[in-house]
Amino acid sequence: MKPYDFVVIGSGIAGLTFALKAAKHGSVAVITKRKGADSNTAWAQGGIACVTSDEDSFELHVADTLEAGAGLCDEAAVRTIVMEGPTRVSELVEIGLHFDDREIGGHREPDLGREGGHSKRRVLHVQDVTGLEIEKTLLRELERARQVELLEHHMAVDLITAGKLGFATEDRCLGVYILNERTGEVETIRTDRLVLATGGCGKVYLYTTNPDIATGDGVAMAWRAGAVIANMEFIQFHPTCLFHPLAKSFLISEAIRGEGGILRNDRGEDFMEQYHPQRSLAPRDIVARAIDAEMKRSGSKCVFLDITHRSPEFLKERFPHIYETCLRFGVDMAKQPIPVVPAAHYQCGGVKTDVNGATSLPGLYAIGEVASTGLHGANRLASNSLLEGLVMAHRACDASLREQPTSHAARAIALPEWESGDVQIVDELVVIYHNWDEIRRLMWDYVGIVRTEKRLQRASARLRNLQREIREFYWNFKVSVDLLELRNLATVAALIVDSALSRKESRGLHFTLDYPALSDERFRRDTLISRT
Ligand code: SIN
């Protein structure tokens, strides 16, 4: 396969934004394992947190982000991302995205949403389908762009690095092996600038708000290539996912609580009163833990989100997607409270990067949810992630253009083709599906909202066994998407558990009954892991 100046893996807001900018400077391949629009971005309901109103300020947005991050944000990264947000958002508007607005004092102003942890209304949105509209806008632009190839149904297998090939040059990323799902062949792509924009890892948990693609591919590949991974213990659980046996992964946006929605327990009580002064709009970690506690206390299978005091007209106009979807499952949110449960939602850690998206491995960049820039710290402020993906894509593109090209020695290295040997096709798919289910269930039961050392140890032991079995599969059978996703899921699960075990305190999203307090001296630092 031909070389590209830039290779981007992933087609959400970060990957597509990078590709559009990079295509002005060279050839770009966007690799995506399903269709172009299959990304976490397309599922984002809330919107983009961005300072646009006179009543708001960068200082307030920075302060809210730092407060949510529980002492682990990188303040310089927070400032950069918050302050570059408005410019990047206006570029989205220039290419055709129209955020909701409303008439105020004779002129139109953005209709800003509110979510937990924000001291001001600052969330730009398109009804409750912001991510989908962004995705469509960017894909439309990509179709028009020259020098970009969108390779759908191609899945990255592993990064190719000088170190792994045994060359005595500086270690750096040289390319990537890609499984072409249509032919079943693994192709070799060479590039000097490889960008991971693969999103998160929600599918590592039994219950998640994420789409099926969220299997932690970027973190797993970067870890295998020797890059530094940070803060994987901080998995954000969204408090409100629709509770219905047939409604797989359907998010009920926090924006509903921003518009006055109240969480109630099975007795109809506004139970958040007992947990936090901001009640239903308290920071997400607190709300998710409170729901978990209420459900455990009462033995009920869910709690309820009540927005019946708002008019049906308002609900249909502001939340058409949620309204229609709930109705399809027999819940009229204008008349009855919505049954909800918490579910895994966002990976706050990831591949460690600087504020330009550069990882510890030269030639490798990470942007969007796969990356750990320092914006989120121990807990992400709602709707900061689309903002991060947008800003970091631009910064990473600029940085990659400034980067020195690979040395002559590295360029002289011929990349070996993928060797399949005479490996067989996996005959018993049931083993893959069984292992997949086992990982997701054990992560939910042992590494969920509330953790203990004993449960984490138990998860660790099980995962080691599963990883051994999966390694055997990987070497003895022809690779397939299912097998690759399982391998990545197991790797990421183990990284989450190892990171959680090393943090002997409760901070942000990591809450353990064995160390319920915050320990400032020892643990006010990132959890860093690398294979090397
Ligand atoms: C939501 O709409 O509740 C999700 C927003 C986010 O996770 O940032």
| Domain spans, the chain | 240-344, 429-525
Tell me the CA–centroid distance for residue 317 and ligand 1, in Å.
Answer: 18
What architecture (CATH level 2) is domain 240-344? Alpha-Beta Complex (3.90)
Report how far residue 175's alpha carbon sits from residue 191's, in angstroms, rounded to the nearest whole number. 5
Q: Which of 253, 284, 338, 369 to mutate to test the pocket of ligand 1 (most atoms within 8 A of CB)?
A: 253
Nearest atom within ligand 1 for CA of residue 382: 8
Distance of CA 42 from the midpoint of ligand 1 (Å): 12
Q: What is the pLDDT of residue 474?
A: 87
Residue nearest to atom 7 of ligand 1 (CA): 382
CA of 135 from ligand 1 middle (Å) equals 16
Q: For 175, list phi and psi in degrees, rounded to 5.
A: 165, -160
What is the β-pairing status of strands 107-110 and 101-104?
antiparallel
- The span from the CA of 189 to the CA of 367, in Å, is 20
Atom 8 of ligand 1, residue of closest alpha carbon: 383
- Residues having CB within 6 Å of any atom of ligand 1: 45-46, 253-255, 382-383, 385
Question: Considering only CA atoms, which residue is closest to atom 1 of ligand 1?
Answer: 253
Collapsed DSSP state (helix, strand, coil) of residue 351 = strand
Interior angle at CA 386, CA 251 and CA 277, nearest 5? 60
Q: What is the pLDDT of residue 102?
A: 92
**Which mutation among 118, 209, 238 tests ligand 1's pocket best, with the greatest number of atoms within 8 A of CB?**
238
Q: Which atom of ligand 1 is nearest to the CA of 384?
A: 8
The pLDDT value given to residue 315: 97
Strand partners, 366: 196
Instruction: For residue 345, give the ligand 1 atom closest to its CA.
Output: 7
pLDDT of res. 408 = 64
Please report the atom of ligand 1 found closest to the CA of residue 128: 2
- The distance from CA 87 to its chain's CA centroid, rounded to whole angstroms, is 23
pLDDT in tens, 14-59: 999 999 999 999 999 999 999 888 899 999 998 999 999 999 999 9
Per DSSP, which regions of 83-145 are E strands?
101-104, 107-110, 123-124
Q: What digits encode the pLDDT tens for the residues 142-174?
A: 999 999 999 999 999 999 998 877 776 678 999
Question: How much distance in Å is there from the Cα of 382 to the middle of ligand 1?
Answer: 5
Per-residue pLDDT at 521:
79
417 vs 426: CA distance, rounded Å: 22
Nearest-atom index, ligand 1, CA of 386? 8
Q: Give pLDDT tens digits along the chain (532 positions).
A: 679 999 999 999 999 999 999 999 999 999 999 988 889 999 999 899 999 999 999 999 999 999 999 999 999 999 999 999 999 999 999 999 999 999 988 889 999 999 989 999 999 999 999 999 999 999 999 999 999 999 999 999 999 998 877 776 678 999 999 999 999 999 999 999 999 999 999 999 999 999 999 999 999 999 999 999 999 999 999 999 999 989 888 999 999 999 999 999 999 999 999 999 999 998 889 999 999 999 989 999 999 999 999 999 999 999 999 999 999 999 999 999 999 999 999 999 999 999 999 999 999 999 999 999 999 999 999 999 999 999 999 999 999 999 876 766 667 778 888 887 667 776 677 888 899 999 999 999 999 999 999 999 999 999 999 999 999 888 888 889 999 999 999 999 999 999 999 999 999 999 999 999 998 778 999 999 999 7
pLDDT number for residue 519 = 84
Mutate to test the pocket of ligand 1, among 40, 254, 307, 390 (most ligand atoms within 8 A of CB): 254
Cα(318) to centroid of ligand 1, in Å?
15
Q: Whose Cα sits closest to atom 4 in ligand 1?
A: 46
Which DSSP helix (H) or strand (E) runs through 409? helix 408-411
The whole-angstrom separation of Cα 167 and Cα 413 is 8
Sheet with strand 350-352: strands edge to edge: 371-372, 350-352, 229-230, 528-529
Residue 450, pLDDT score: 96
Residue 284 annotated among the catalytic residues of the structure: yes
Q: How far is the CA of 254 from the centre of ligand 1 (A)?
A: 6
Chain centroid offset of residue 193 CA: 22
CB-based contacts of 521: which residues, under 8 Å, 6+ apart? none
- For 455-480, letters b (16+ CB in 10 Å) and e give bbebbbebbeebbeebeebeeebebb
Mutation pick for ligand 1 pocket among 125, 127, 251, 287 (CB with most ligand atoms within 8 Å): 251
Pairing, β 350-352 against β 303-306:
unpaired
Q: Which residue has the tokens 């039961």?
A: 445
User: What residues contact 339, with CB distance under 8 A and at least 6 apart?
Assistant: 242, 243, 244, 302, 303, 304, 331
Q: Which CATH architecture has domain 429-525?
A: Up-down Bundle (1.20)
In Å, the largest CA–CA distance within the chain is: 72
Distance from Cα 259 to the centre of ligand 1, integer Å: 14
